[in-house]
Amino acid sequence: MAHTHAADKNYYLDQICSLGACAALGVVGVLMYTSGKLSLLLTAPFHPWVLAGGITLLAIALVRGTYLWRLAGRLEVECDHDHGHDHHHKHDEHCDHEHAVDDCGHEHSHAWTPAKYALLMLPITLYLLELPNAAFSADWANRQADQSALEGPGRAVGDKGAKVLGFRELSDAAGDAGKRNYFEGHTVKLKGMFVKLGMPNEFTLMRLKMNCCAADVVPMQVRILSEDKVGDFARTDWVEVEGKVEFRKVAGKEKYYAVLITSSDKVKKTDPEATPYD
Amino acid sequence: MEEKAKDFILTFTSIFYEALPFIILGSIIAGVLEHAIPKHWITRLVPKNRIAAIGLSCLLGLVFPMCECGIVPIMRRLLRKGLPLSCCTAYMMCGPVINPVVIFSTWVAFSGFQDGWIMVALRIGMAFVVGFVTANIIDRQHQRFGNDLLVPAARPNAADHDDDDSANQQGFSTKLGLIAETTVHDFIDITVFLTLGALLSAACRLFFTTQDIENLGNGFPVVSILIMMGLAIVLCLCSEADAFVAASFSMLPAAHKLAFLVLGPMFDLKLYFLFTRVFRPRLIWTIVTCVAVQTLLYSLLVHYTLPSHVGLPKN
Set of chain A residues whose Cβ sits within 8 Å of the Cβ of B178: 67, 85-87
Residue A76: count of CB within 10 angstroms of its CB: 8
Pairwise CB contact (< 8 Å): B187 & A57: yes
Set of chain A residues whose Cβ sits within 8 Å of the Cβ of B268: none
Alpha-carbon distance of A39 to A94, in angstroms, equals: 58
pLDDT at A87: 45
Longest dimension (CA), chain A: 94
Residue positions counted in chain A:
278
Contact status of B132 with chain A (Cβ, < 8 Å): no
Tens digit of pLDDT at every position of chain B (315 positions) = 788 899 999 999 998 998 899 889 989 988 898 888 887 887 788 888 999 999 999 999 998 888 888 889 899 889 988 899 999 999 999 999 999 989 998 988 887 777 889 999 999 999 999 999 999 999 999 999 999 999 988 888 765 555 555 656 678 888 899 999 999 998 998 898 889 888 988 888 888 787 787 777 777 899 999 999 999 999 888 887 788 888 878 778 899 999 999 999 999 998 999 999 999 999 999 999 999 999 999 999 999 998 877 777 665
Residue A252 CB partners (closer than 8 Å, separation 6+): none
pLDDT at A106: 44
Residue A274 CB partners (closer than 8 Å, separation 6+): A39
Residue A54: count of CB within 10 angstroms of its CB: 25
Contact status of A146 with chain B (Cβ, < 8 Å): yes
Pairwise CB contact (< 8 Å): B159 & A90: yes
Best of B15, B17, B150, B175 to disrupt the A interface by mutation (most A CBs within 10 Å)?
Answer: B17
Helix, strand, or coil (residue B313): strand
SS3 sequence of chain A? CCCCCCCCHHHHHHHHHHHHHHHHHHHHHHHHHHCCCHHHHECHHHHHHHHHHHHHHHHHHHHHHHHHHHHHHHHHHCCCCCCCCCCCCCCCCCCCCCCCCCCCCCCCCCCCCHHHHHHHHHHHHHHHCCCCCCCCCHHHHHHHCCCCCECCCCCCCCCCEECCCCHHHHHHHCCEHHHHHHHCCEEEEEEEEEEECCCCCEEEEEEEECCCEHHHCEEEEEEEEECCCCCCCCCCCEEEEEEEEEEEEECCCCCEEEEEEECHHHEEEECCCCCCEC
Helix, strand, or coil (residue B89): helix
Contact status of B164 with chain A (Cβ, < 8 Å): no
How close B221 gets to chain A, by Cα (Å)?
A: 17
Average pLDDT, chain A: 84
Pairwise CB contact (< 8 Å): A213 & B14: yes
Pairwise CB contact (< 8 Å): B14 & A25: no
Helix, strand, or coil (residue B85): helix
Contact status of A40 with chain B (Cβ, < 8 Å): yes
Contact status of A151 with chain B (Cβ, < 8 Å): no
Set of chain A residues whose Cβ sits within 8 Å of the Cβ of B183: 60, 64
Q: Is the peptide bond before A132 cis (omega within 30 degrees of 0)?
A: yes
Contact status of B28 with chain A (Cβ, < 8 Å): yes
Q: Which of residues 4-23 of A touch B (CB under 8 A)?
A: 18-19, 21-22
- The CA angle A160-A161-A167, to the nearest 5 degrees, is 95
Positive or negative CA dihedral for A231, A236, A240, A241?
positive
Contact status of B223 with chain A (Cβ, < 8 Å): no
pLDDT > 90 in chain A, percent:
51
Between the alpha carbon of residue A176 and those of residues A127, A195, A201, B99, B134, the distances in Å are 42, 25, 27, 28, 38
CB B271 within 8 A of CB B197: yes
Pairwise CB contact (< 8 Å): B18 & A67: no
Pairwise CB contact (< 8 Å): A87 & B180: no
Give how far the C-alpha of residue A258 lies from the chain's centroid of Cα atoms, to the nearest Å: 27
Q: Which of residues 100-119 of A touch B (CB under 8 A)?
A: 102-109, 116, 119
Please tell me which of the candidates B11, B21, B312 has its beta carbon nearest to residue A53.
B21
Q: In this prediction, does ipTM exceed 0.90?
A: no
Alpha-carbon distance of B33 to B36, in angstroms, equals: 6
pLDDT at A274: 86
Set of chain B residues whose Cβ sits within 8 Å of the Cβ of A57: 24, 187
Set of chain A residues whose Cβ sits within 8 Å of the Cβ of B167: 87
- Taking CA–CA distances from B206, the nearest residue in chain A reads A140
Contact status of A42 with chain B (Cβ, < 8 Å): yes
CB B139 within 8 A of CB B54: yes
Per-residue pLDDT for A22 more than 80? yes
Contact status of A50 with chain B (Cβ, < 8 Å): yes
Contact status of A87 with chain B (Cβ, < 8 Å): yes
